[in-house]
Each structure stands twice: as structure tokens, then as C-alpha cells.
Amino acid sequence: MFVLRDVELARAVAYQLVPDAAPRDQIAGPARLAAAYEQMLERAPDERDVRAVAAFLVHLDALFCLAELTLREPGAKSPLISTVLAAEAAGQRPRGLATLFALPGALAAVDPRLAMPPGIAELPALAQRWKVHRAQTAELLGDAVIDALAARLRRHLRLAARDPAEVVQLPAPAAPEPAT
């Protein structure tokens, strides 16, 4: 797990794991990792490991979005998701595939800070692809799959304290009344 806790090492692994190939080949490695993540959740893993692997898998989801930035229609459904999550292919899906694509939605309900990689919101085209992927995944997998994964994650992810980046604003003191 230490590899995934180091940003540069995790990035190098991610780029090796997602080849520029046919959809089924693109998702093969990430699906295997998501299947291993499912198994990890059945044990009593360290919360830091659960978070590190979740963040890594969500980053892989972002790479799939990034690969589709050149689509003619920014709001078009994802060809990758249409292919690998198609109902007719449900019996042939590699183990872990549903978890791979459902994870951002499940994390949004458990710990939103992990649900989307940092920086996506600052790139409008990528943010649009991210929204398309999330909506299409929910449509094809259904809320029950995402909710079940969220329930499993809740057992391992404690609600963290507020993000220190959030600024708490105290009420301003009342202005003194003018003397008469």
C-alpha cells in the first residue's frame, strides 16, 4: 500500500495500468485492482489503506474521463462505459468492474473528499466528462450497487474531522449603539 500513498509512484502505476487499447483491455488491470479492493474490504484493513486505494481507483476513473476529452460532443455518453457496463455484457464483466465505476458515487455518500480527484472541477471539459461518467454509471449499474458499496465503505471509513481548509466564519460582533 505504501506505493499508493506516494503520489508520484501511484501516478506511474496508474499510467502503466491503463493502456491505450480496446475498452476491455483498458479496464482489465483496473478491474483486477478493484476486485482486490473488494476482498480487502472483507477483512479489517487499516483505514489509511482503504483511503489510499479508494483515491487511486478514483484517479483511474478520472483517467478514463481524460481519455475522452476529444469526443465531438462533450455531453455524449461514454463509449467506454457503454461498452464495458452494457446490460448484455453483464455476465462477461470482469470481477471488480462494477466496484471500479461505482466507487466515486459510493464515496460521494461516505466521504465526498475522496469522491473526485483534486483539480477536476478547475477544468470545465474534464468536469463535464466526470459528470457524464457518474450519471451513466448510475444509470447502468443502478443505485442499489452504489448504495451497497457505500454501506461497505462506511464500515471502514470513519467520518473525518472537518477539512482544515474550510474556514469557519464567526458572527460579526454587533455594532455599538450610538450614544444619545
| The CA-based dihedral angle spanning residues 162, 109, 157, 103, taken in that order and rounded to the nearest 10 degrees | -130
User: Can you tell me which residue has the cell 484517479?
Assistant: 59
List of E strands, the chain:
none
Half-sphere exposure at residue 36, Cβ-oriented, CA atoms within 13 angstroms:
12
Q: Per-residue pLDDT tens, the chain, 180 aa: give them.
A: 556 667 777 777 777 777 777 888 889 999 999 999 999 999 989 898 999 999 999 999 999 999 999 988 878 999 999 999 988 877 888 899 999 999 999 999 999 999 999 999 999 999 999 999 999 999 999 999 999 999 999 999 886 545 544 445 555 666 677 766
d(C-alpha 151, C-alpha 104), whole Å: 13
* Global pTM value: 0.81
Close Cβ partners of 36 (under 8 Å, ≥ 6 residues apart): 96
Q: Which of 158, 145, 156, 132 is nearest to 43 (CA)?
A: 156
Q: Whole-angstrom Cα distance, residue 136 to residue 146?
A: 12
Q: 150 near 109, Cβ under 8 Å?
A: yes
